[in-house]
Each structure stands twice: as C-alpha cells, then as structure tokens.
Structure 1
Amino acid sequence: MPNHALRILIADVQHFNCMRIERLFNQLGYFAVAPVQSLEELLRLTEYGSQPFDLVLINSSMADGSLNLPDFFIDNHQVRHAFIFDGRQAQLAAVPDCIGQTVWISHAELPDLSCVQKLMAAVDPRLPFVGTVISDR
C-alpha cells in the first residue's frame, strides 16, 4: 500500500507536463503532489520549506545551465530523492541507477507510468521492492 504522506514536487515550465505527471502519481495512490513552473519556485520550496520533499521530479531544461542539478540534489537536505528527466537536452549522462541512492537522471522527455512505478518502488518503503532501474526511454 502506498504511503499517502509522501511529499512529491514536480517541476516543469509546461503546466500540461506537470499535470500529466501528477495524474500518474494519482493513479498509484499518491496525492500530496505539488507542481511548480519555475526554478525560482523550486529553489524557494527546497531551501526554505519546513518539511523535506520525499521526491522531486524536474525537467532538466529548467536549470538552463545555471545550476548543476545532480550536485544540487545530492547536497540538499530538503530533498530525499530526485528524478531529473529530459537529461539529453541538458547534456546530462543518463544514470538509470541511483547516485548515492538519491538521484536518477533519465533521457526520457517525460516519465511514463512504468517509470513512475519503478521510481516509487525505490522511494516508498511501503511498496514491495521491484528494483531501482529507472527506464531511460
């Protein structure tokens, strides 16, 4: 059974993409999902938030070269896990397995349901373990 208390943040400049990804989480029973559409919003929430996020999904293009996303998430105590998608656009090397058990990078333009299921198996301790490999489609 999913942990309904997990806090998930989705960051993409396209509102439609945020809503599409949020629906995938809703299908799996996760409803504490917040979308943001700018890097400034994401930084504000992850730097000054009172509670950490269990998972942040971000389109790599949001950083636009101004922020090294993998390093930012590895060093950020307000983010437990991060999934950076559309990494090819930002010329990030795909890392389907975890970096330090917390950061994944995918070249997929958007995560699909299968990807989100595999991701949540690594993030949500209440789910049965199905592996940590995240699709790089």
Structure 2
Amino acid sequence: MSRYTLRILLVEDHPFQLLATQCLLKSYGFDQLTPVENAEQAIRTMIQSEQPFDLMLCDQCLPDLPGLELVEIASRRRYVTRAILLSGLPAEDLIKLTTQASQRNLPLLGYLSKPLNKDELERLISSTFNV
C-alpha cells in the first residue's frame, strides 16, 4: 500500500539510474512514479497528464535538453509544482545551477549528487511536502 500520494515524474536517461531511483522511491512508499528517459518523453508525458506533477526529479545532463531548461519549461507551463536536479557534476557546478534557478524564479528544491544518497533524498522531499 502506498504511504504517499505525491505524483512524481522521474527523468533519467541512464537505465540503471532510472531503475535504482525508482526502487529507492518505492522503498519510501512513493508509488505514483512516472519514469521517462529524456526531455522529449517528459514533455509529452506532462502534456498528456490531467494534472500537474507534484515533483519532478530530473537528471541535469539529459541527451536532448539540460535538466534546468526542462524544469523551466515544465514550471512555466505549470506541468510541475517542484523539482530536484540529479547530477554527477561537481558540487560547485550544481550550486551555480541552483543560483540560476533562483534568479529565474524556478521551483527548484535543490540538487542531489549521484549516486543518490537516500537520506538526502528523503530530507529534500519530506521537508517540502511534510511527508
């Protein structure tokens, strides 16, 4: 039985990372997951959705569009309410992206370095959504 009702869009182009992140989220009770492999699939999925996603977990280094750009498209069109970037980039690059998101008024909660740390993931989600 699902513990949480958050609708999460997971955008990750690496199959192993996509599967591992899904398993991690499901272990926390997040069952309303929609996994996609690139920005094009994400946009198509968001357009077809009847309501906005509560959260988008998005790889920064997608093959077809930088994650932060996808976050901007999704938030401007009201397809998502919040987002978290996932990346293997150095921390200083991720901090710059967070600053850019803030300057652009994007609903970015922060970033998570890969491989994902389950405590950090839980902290970001639970502090925002009170779960």
Match of 2:114 in 1: 109
The Cα shift of 1:101 comes to: 7.9
Aligned residues: 123
Q: Pairwise CA RMSD of aligned residues?
A: 3.0
Match of 2:127 in 1: 122
Give TM-score scaled by structure 1 length. 0.72
* C-alpha distance 68-36 of structure 1, shift in aligned 2 (>3 A): same
Q: Distance in 2 between matches of 1:22 and 1:36?
A: 11
* C-alpha distance 117-13 of structure 1, shift in aligned 2 (>3 A): same
2:61 is paired with a residue whose SS is helix
Identity across matched positions, percent: 20
Cα deviation code 1:75-134 (max 9, x no counterpart): 231101101121737x551539x8458213436124320121112113323x2xxxxxxx
* Aligned 8 A contact 1:84 1:106 in 2: yes
2:109 is paired with a residue whose SS is strand
Give matches, 1:42-81, under 5 Å.
Answer: 42-62=42-62, 63-65=64-66, 68-81=69-82
* Aligned 8 A contact 1:11 1:38 in 2: yes
Query: Gaps spanning 5+ residues in structure 2: where?
Result: none
* C-alpha distance 73-123 of structure 1, shift in aligned 2 (>3 A): farther
* C-alpha distance 113-66 of structure 1, shift in aligned 2 (>3 A): closer
Q: Which runs of 4+ in 1 moved over 3 A?
A: 63-67, 98-101
Give TM-score scaled by structure 2 length. 0.75
* C-alpha distance 66-23 of structure 1, shift in aligned 2 (>3 A): closer
Query: Gaps spanning 5+ residues in structure 1: where?
Result: 128-137
The Cα shift of 1:47 comes to: 3.0
Match of 2:89 in 1: 88
Q: Distance in 1 between matches of 2:68 and 2:56?
A: 15
Q: Distance in 2 between matches of 1:21 and 1:113?
A: 9
2:113 is paired with a residue whose SS is coil
1:24 is paired with a residue whose SS is helix
Paired letter, 2:7: R
Higher helix share: 2
